[in-house]
Amino acid sequence: MVVINDKTKDSASIKLAKPIDPVGRVEIVTATTADYQELNIGTGTLVAPNKVLTAAHVIDPNLDGIIEVKDLSRYSFELGDNLDEGSDHSLKIDQVTLHPSWKAAKANRVSDNDGQDIPNPQYDLAVLTLNSDFTEIEPVEVSPDVPELLDNASLLGKKGTLIGYGDYGNPTADPDNSDGLRRAAENIIDSADNGLIRFDYDSTDPLIQKNNDQGFNSPNLDGSYPELTSVPESSPKPISLEGGIAPGDSGGPLLVESDLEPVVVGVASEFINPESSGSPISGYGSIYVYTSLNDPQTIEFLSTEDIISNEFV
């Protein structure tokens, strides 16, 4: 991560992410040869001394509800500003748990733009349990433990910070750009309903802004299960550090400030670019979809995993 608008330097994205130490990279060794290791990579957040929150599809890239790599010694959670230069901490994983509703129940499936049957991002969550408590970095709180952020309506219009280690670019993600640096951007939450948080990436071009004054809409999710409340209007003008996620950022957090402390309100699931066919490119016009932590089934899951108290279950 991250894509950021063309009025902002890449260095600003790196600076924004620098103090957010609980966000790291999830690495899973999927194959080894004498010459190299094949990795499945995503982003995750330390949300308790021994718990890391990430996306289910990072653990289950086949999208079949089955954990692909059983050998837990192949998992690690790497923390640091620049992982290509080496991690500050490399944490081992003792247990991997997928959100129970991520499984391929027909009611929890949607069709993408190509007509393929994929899991509903409403439940795109997984928890990695560390083999011991890690106390050198303070975990980030999650929204079900923060009453003023538990109501999804309270999230609308708030500024969120998105973070990751994936492909980056200015203003469009470049598949050849991935350097191990943690980056961040900001965006305004346009929709928070039915277990999903969504927002779009507004162009800095005034002509494009004028022609897109209807604002945010998510065409490939409209009418899918569950039905989403459309948001016909949002500001077409970007904020100064506006950007979005890209490949490699899956599982990263969406942070919202609460009493001057960041709180995780969602986890990066997917992005959609209605303007690009085939493999979508993260850039102006893209729509970003995060799994909300305020969904009732997700609150129960987080409680079962001892990430939140039972107070709101």
pLDDT digit string, tens, across residues 105-136: 455 566 655 666 666 788 999 999 999 999 99
Q: Cα–Cα distance between 182 and 249 in angstroms, integer?
A: 10
* Contact status, residue 90 vs residue 76, Cβ threshold 8 Å: yes
Amino acid identity of 307?
A: I
Average pLDDT score over residue span 194-208: 83
Q: Cα–Cα distance between 111 and 109 in angstroms, integer?
A: 7
Q: Assess whether the previous peptide bond of 238 is cis (omega < 30° from 0).
A: no
Helical residues (DSSP H) of the chain, grouped into ranges: 10-17, 56-59, 147-150, 206-211, 296-304
**Domains of the chain and any CATH numbers:** 3-304 (2.40.10.120)
Say which residue the tokens 């997928």 belong to. 98
Average pLDDT score over residue span 38-62: 94
Task: Note the pLDDT tens digit of each residue in 82-93.
Answer: 998 999 999 999
Residue 93 CA to chain centroid, in angstroms? Answer: 20
Backbone dihedral angles phi then psi of residue 34, each to the nearest 5 degrees: -65, -20
- In which band, very low, low, confident or very high, does the pLDDT at 66 lie, cut at 50, 70 and 90? confident
Q: Cα–Cα distance between 271 and 198 in angstroms, integer?
A: 9
Residue 225, class by beta-carbon neighbours within 10 Å (0-12 exposed, 13-18 middle, 19+ buried)?
A: middle
Per-residue pLDDT, 12: 93
**pLDDT above 50 for 196:** yes
Amino acid identity of 56?
A: A
* Contact status, residue 196 vs residue 189, Cβ threshold 8 Å: no
> What single DSSP character describes residue 227?
P
Q: Cα–Cα distance between 155 and 158 in angstroms, integer?
A: 6
Q: Cα–Cα distance between 8 and 171 in angstroms, integer?
A: 9
